[in-house]
Amino acid sequence: MSRQPQIERAFLRACEMDVAVRKPGNVSDASAGHGMTASMFRSSAIAAAPALLRPGARLGERVEAAVAASWAAANCNTNLGILLLCAPLAMAAEGLPGNMSVGALRQAVQQVLATLDAADAAAVFRAIAAANPGGLGSAREQDVREPPSIGLVQAMALAADRDLIARQYRDGFADLWDTGLPAVPAGLPPDHPSAVEAVFLAWLSAYPDSHIVRKRGADVAQTVMQAAQGWRLRHDTGVHADWDAWDRSLKAARINPGTSADFTVATLMAALLLQPLAP
């Protein structure tokens, strides 16, 4: 049985739930924001999927082609972080037969990362420069606007202390296994709205959101993280008017926890991949 239908369903369903469920500060069906709408995220996910999930393709070419397709669909950067996180998951799953365990998927991701080279780094650098994410800035070493001289994992390691996505490439996606997947509530499907909220709060309460840090500074990111910690203790989110008010207040202040949203998508994709294969 081909693994590809499951991988495609997992990616597209995770992207769908990203905007179907209200996550404060992020774009959703209930609340547009930051000059974007939920339909733009859906269109970019559908456009990106063929390139991102093409069996046998290198990671760099997947990400570069998927970013180009997403930009053509939405005319802005909606999913660079999602693509960087989901590409290794897709590649890892392609090589695993039958139903998979967390341990098998984790090991397969590490094997994918071990194959990445300077050509992957060059393609990813071009993709990042083309997407031009908010607050990108410049780097003294291996700036994305210049051809890299090292492999992708080594290049990501240089940014790992300031970017949580880069840290996953350095650390074998450790935070996904240790923070993301354990946050999926037992007894709920990963794509249940309450599960999506729980995963989002887990990420936002555990780490200062990298996108907020780049755009608004570390103090603002710390304040949002502390607010998320309080919400995680309550987690009466979906039916509570204060949840909606928090969403509106973050958007009014131009605060977008985009990295936490990216990790929510990656976590949902991994959790859906770990479900038993349909006959």
Query: How many angstroms separate the CA atoms of 202 and 179, rounded?
Result: 7
pLDDT of residue 198: 94
Q: How would you classify residue 265: left for phi > 0, otherwise alpha for psi between -120 and 50, otherwise beta?
A: alpha
Q: What is the 3-state secondary structure (H, E, C) of 3-30?
A: CHHHHHHHHHHHHHHHHHCCCCCCCECC
How high is the pLDDT of residue 142?
Answer: 47
Tokens of 231: 């919400």
The C-alpha atoms of residue 179 and residue 2 are separated, in whole angstroms, by 30
Distance CA 228, CA 166 (A): 23
* CA pseudo-torsion sign 30, 136, 62, 173: negative
What is the domain partition of the chain in residue ranges? 4-273
How does pLDDT run across 134-153, given as a tens digit for each residue? 444 444 554 555 677 689 99
Would you state the pLDDT for residue 1? 58
Q: Model pTM?
A: 0.93
What top-level class would CATH report for the domain 4-273? mainly alpha
In the chain, pLDDT over 70 holds for what percent of residues? Answer: 92
Please tell me the distance from the alpha carbon of residue 231 to that of residue 199, in angstroms, as a whole number. Answer: 12
Residue 203: Cβ-neighbour burial (10 angstroms; 0-12, 13-18, 19+) = buried
Counting as low any pLDDT under 50, the low residues of the chain are 134-139, 142
pLDDT (tens digit, 9 = 90+) per residue, 169-208?
Answer: 999 999 999 999 999 999 999 999 999 999 999 999 999 9
Q: Please, what's the b/e burial string for 125-150 (b: 16 or more CB within 10 A of its CB; e: otherwise)?
A: bbbbeebebeebeeeeebbbeeebee
| 230 burial level (CB within 10 Å; 0-12, 13-18, 19+) | exposed
- The secondary structure of 47-94 as a DSSP string is HHHHHHT-TT--HHHHHHHHHHHHHHHHSS-S-HHHHHHHHHHHHHHH
